[in-house]
Structure 1
Amino acid sequence: MTEALSNAPRMKPNFAILLSAIEMLLPSSRWIKRFATEKDDADFEESHRHALIFGKGGLFQCSTMTLGLAVMEPELNYPLHRHPPAEFYLALSEGEWYREDAGWWSPGAGSVVFNPPSAVHSMRSTDKPLLALWGLIENAQEAVPDHQGVSNNSN
């Protein structure tokens, strides 16, 4: 985690402030391992972790949203998956993202990636660790943005 956070670019003041706040939360965060299935990369279990910040089991309880951090070691694929809640990621480092209607793309650090409810999606790290802030939004059917994709707003 420390390597991923130190590699995250601090290109704008607000982004640097966000990364500093995340760094302060790390000692209190509960890191969770996602168990691999037969189809997953054998190294996935040991090379990926989530820290819950908001939501059930997180540092702060919230019933409408789950917010956390994801970190992946270099050269790792997160398995293709889907889930009913809409999901967003704020890419805190370089990485590649996949969604069934868009294919693979590299949004860049500071970009937002949005996955509509039940969309098949994935991500993968490059030669450096991937770090991302992620959120699951319950009952987001009404809140799906018109662009349903990537924005590059790093403010």
Structure 2
Amino acid sequence: MLYELALGTLENVDNKIASSFRNDFPELNQLSAVDLKPSILPIAASVLKVGNTAPSTISIVHEIQETYQSQQWRQPYQADDFGLDFFNNTAWFPIADVEGPILFSKGLMEIMLLEPNITYPNHKHSPEELYVILAGNVWWQSDNQKACRKFAGEVIHHLPNVIHSIKAGNKPVLILNLWRRGSFEMPVITNA
């Protein structure tokens, strides 16, 4: 259900890059699925307190709120990567990647959750990336450009190896995160 809602979100945000990403993800009936054991991190309940949605994101946000306890929440970083505050106030769960729950090896699709005012500091990675803000808002900065605010329903695009960061607004933020032409790799932390 989340996979199909994510594809629908990419279609509904009315953005050419989002449409291009959508075309790189096959229909659900062309993929296999595996059951992942749910794992809950303390932050997960914050999905019930996220900021405003957009018409293009409301359906997927409601589904996430209904199913968050059955997801496999992860924190891929260590506390010393970005600090304990970041470690305790961010989390991800997969929708599609090499380990499931939808098996997909040519990219990834996941949900990112950031608590209010948390900064995901400068980092970069090889795969091209798309963020769709599902609920709440963020300050986004890329390649030392001036930071700008992005709201629910808006898209953020990162080319491979472009340094970028985001900071959550004053409510928890949900982001649909997609990579294409590469599966998960730990991002490189930068000081730029």
Is the shorter-chain TM-score for this pair beyond 0.5, marking a shared fold?
yes
Change (3 A) 1:103 1:39: farther
Q: Is 1:50–2:92 an aligned residue pair?
A: yes
- Could you say which residue in structure 1 is the equivalent of 2:174? 131
Q: Is 1:27–2:69 an aligned residue pair?
A: yes
- Could you say which residue in structure 2 is the equivalent of 1:122? 165
Tell whether the 8 Å contact from 2:46 to 2:115 is kept in structure 1 after alignment.
Answer: no
Q: Normalising by structure 1, what TM-score? A: 0.78
Distance 2:59 2:78 in 1: 34
Change (3 A) 1:4 1:48: same
Moved more, 97-106 or 126-135: 97-106
Change (3 A) 1:74 1:43: same
Q: Write the deviation string for residues 67-116 of structure 1: whole angstroms up to 9, x where unpaired.
A: 00111111211121110000000012211111115331112111010000
- Could you say which residue in structure 2 is the equivalent of 1:148? none
Aligned partner letter, 2:117: E
Q: Normalising by structure 2, what TM-score? A: 0.64
The number of equivalent residue pairs is: 138
Q: Where do residues 6-155 of structure 1 align in structure 2 (5 Å cutoff)?
A: 6-12=49-55, 14-36=56-78, 38=80, 40-92=82-134, 93-100=136-143, 102-138=145-181
Structure 1 residue 43: Cα displacement: 1.0
Percent identity between the two aligned chains: 22
Aligned partner letter, 1:112: V
Distance 2:155 2:53 in 1: 16
Change (3 A) 1:64 1:39: closer
Q: Write the deviation string for residues 35-85 of structure 1: whole angstroms up to 9, x where unpaired.
A: 246462331111110111100223111011200011111121112111000
Q: Which has the higher helix share?
A: 2
Gaps of 5+ in 2: 1-43, 183-192
Structure 1 residue 137: Cα displacement: 0.7
Aligned partner letter, 2:152: A
Distance 1:97 1:10 in 2: 18
Aligned partner letter, 2:175: A
Change (3 A) 1:35 1:7: closer
Distance 2:47 2:66 in 1: 15
Distance 1:113 1:50 in 2: 17
